[in-house]
């Protein structure tokens, strides 16, 4: 049983296009996240939702818009894709927003912008 | 202040040896320090974590040593195995930053058999 799943696993697209990445968790967690891992493997949080409410919104271009239709899903939509958006995007979830709540990561979506 | 500095960038260890990865932080408000392990093509997974009120935590071959006064913590992998070859990330968390995880830059560990 996959705990945190993402689709698609790979996404190759042209500059200027709009794309979405979907994330679902079946752990019953209240909190979900989006992270970006760049080519040097640096992991940085982009967004966090708790019970469908946005609680962390890092300095991310407005072209990135998260949407949480329900507690189990957090999708990421990216408008007007740029070369610099190429990265691996990870979704994660945790039971809550407490300081010791373990975050469980999905398998990642490798986005390549040509 | 939000940074967690991790070293080394990469590490090669012989099978059976001890792997040591170090992290340092500035913000004393950090109150939770997890280590994540990431295999190629996979997402990071929690390996072990520590709170600053203890100086050491051990789980199997993995030990975190924590030095609150020096604001440093390290991961020790005893009897390193080829299967431990992965990227390791230290991280820190505090309510000051909305409880988000701040990650170190990662250490690529290769254990030679």
CB contact under 8 A, A41 and B42: no
CB-based contacts of A42, cutoff 8 Å, min separation 6: B103, B105, B106
Tell me which DSSP letter residue B76 carries.
Answer: E
pLDDT of residue A109 exceeding 90, the answer is: yes
CB contact under 8 A, B49 and A42: no
The per-residue pLDDT for range A28-73, each reduced to its tens digit, is 999 999 999 999 999 999 999 988 889 888 889 999 999 999 999 9
When pLDDT is cut at 50, 70 and 90, the band that residue A101 belongs to is confident
**CA A88 to chain CA mean position, Å:** 9
pLDDT of residue B1 exceeding 70, the answer is: no
The per-residue pLDDT for range B67-95, each reduced to its tens digit, is 999 999 999 999 999 999 999 999 999 87
Identify the weakest region by mean pLDDT among A96-100, B52-56, B90-94, B99-103. A96-100
**pLDDT of res. A36:** 96
CB-based contacts of A61, cutoff 8 Å, min separation 6: none
Contacts of A100 in chain B (CB under 8 A): 32, 49, 51
């Amino acid at each position: 049983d996959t705990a945190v799943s993402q689709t698609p696993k790979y996404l190759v697209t042209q500059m200027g296009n709009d794309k979405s990445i979907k994330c679902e968790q079946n752990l019953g967690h209240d909190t979900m996240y989006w992270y970006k891992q760049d080519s040097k493997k640096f992991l940085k949080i982009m967004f966090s939702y708790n019970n469908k409410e946005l609680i962390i919104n890092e300095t991310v271009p407005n072209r990135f818009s998260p949407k949480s239709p329900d507690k189990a899903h957090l999708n990421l939509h990216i408008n007007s894709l740029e070369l610099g958006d190429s990265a691996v995007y990870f979704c994660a979830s945790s039971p809550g927003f407490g300081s010791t709540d373990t975050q469980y990561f999905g398998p990642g979506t490798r986005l390549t912008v040509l | 202040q939000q940074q967690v500095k991790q070293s080394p960038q990469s590490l090669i260890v012989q099978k059976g040896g001890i792997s040591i990865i170090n992290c340092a932080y500035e913000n004393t408000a950090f109150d939770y320090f997890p280590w994540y392990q990431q295999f190629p093509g996979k997402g990071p997974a929690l390996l072990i974590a520590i709170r600053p009120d203890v100086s050491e935590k051990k789980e199997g071959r993995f030990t975190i040593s924590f030095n609150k006064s020096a604001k440093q913590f390290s991961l020790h992998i005893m009897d390193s195995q080829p299967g431990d070859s992965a990227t390791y990330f230290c991280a820190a968390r505090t309510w000051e930053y909305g409880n988000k995880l701040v990650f170190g830059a990662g250490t690529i560990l290769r254990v030679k058999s």
